[in-house]
């Protein structure tokens, strides 16, 4: 459902992505990790059509995101890093607006607000929301219509432990239903526990690709994903 084929992207002569090749299949949750500036957010912005790659291609559901942007976006739920919501809409209005853009029944908003414990704040302006509330609302918006692909940039930032549990449960449910989920983050312990695979990028390309068996073997050997991370990035 998600594929990067030899994607390269440079800014001011600095190569951020260098022939990145990566795929996420239906029913997989892939954690994308790397040091700050490794290109994680750049990869997601290429995948969502916000950036044009210098070389290579990114596909969602077999659709080239540059040549077939509308077809690709119809399949996609996206939570950007630090994404701000419209400050003069309420939480409920945000979800209803996103639902109208996607052609989704606005009645889906209420159950999602309840699921992410935002029902009591549904009629408050989002500018009054805490960071954690904003992140939960952004994920609720991404889940509207149950898209088959989810792309999430640092979705657990600003969440308390209960918020992390709510988001984790929602993601694992979508994976169990066959969605392809790509998540970036530095919450290595959580990613090690819930991911189908964890991909570590360094110098703009894949340095490690650990499947579930490899992740389980780490725990059995007394090592952690953090140990692997530090071995690669130094």
CB of 60 within 8 A of CB of 149? yes
pLDDT, residue 83, reads: 65
User: What value, to the nearest 5°, has the Cα angle with vertex 149 and ends 212 and 169?
Assistant: 60
Kindly state the DSSP code that residue 66 receives in the 8-state scheme. Answer: T
Task: Note the helical H segments in 116-211.
Answer: 131-143, 161-176, 188-194
How do the pLDDT tens digits run along the chain, 234 residues long? 999 999 999 998 899 999 999 999 999 999 999 999 899 999 999 999 999 999 999 999 999 999 999 999 999 999 998 767 788 999 999 999 999 989 999 999 999 999 999 999 999 999 999 999 999 999 999 999 999 999 999 998 889 999 999 999 999 999 999 999 999 988 999 999 999 999 999 989 999 999 999 999 998 899 999 999 999 988
Q: 27 and 71 in contact (C-beta within 8 Å)?
A: no
Q: What is the pLDDT of residue 216?
A: 94
- Quote the CA–CA distance of 65 and 50 in Å, as a whole number: 9
């Amino acid at each position: 459902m998600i594929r990067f084929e030899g994607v390269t992207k440079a800014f001011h002569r600095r190569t951020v992505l260098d022939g990145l090749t990566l795929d996420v299949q239906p029913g997989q949750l892939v954690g994308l990790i790397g040091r700050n500036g490794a290109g994680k957010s750049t990869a997601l912005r290429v995948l969502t059509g916000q950036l044009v790659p210098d070389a290579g291609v990114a596909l969602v559901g077999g659709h080239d995101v540059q040549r077939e942007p509308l077809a690709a976006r119809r399949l996609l739920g996206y939570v950007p890093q630090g994404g701000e919501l419209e400050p003069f809409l309420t939480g409920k209005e945000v979800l209803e607006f996103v639902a109208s853009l996607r052609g989704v029944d606005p009645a889906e908003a209420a159950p999602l607000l309840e699921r992410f414990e935002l029902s009591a704040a549904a009629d408050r302006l989002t500018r009054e929301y805490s960071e954690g509330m904003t992140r939960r609302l952004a994920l609720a918006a991404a889940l509207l219509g149950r898209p088959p692909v989810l792309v999430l940039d640092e979705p657990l930032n600003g969440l308390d432990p209960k918020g992390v549990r709510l988001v984790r449960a929602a993601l694992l449910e979508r994976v169990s239903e066959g969605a392809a989920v790509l998540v970036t983050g530095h919450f290595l312990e959580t990613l090690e526990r819930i991911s189908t695979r964890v991909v570590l990028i360094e110098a703009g390309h894949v340095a490690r690709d650990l499947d579930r068996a490899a992740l389980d073997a780490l725990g059995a050997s007394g090592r952690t994903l953090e140990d692997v991370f530090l071995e690669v990035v130094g």
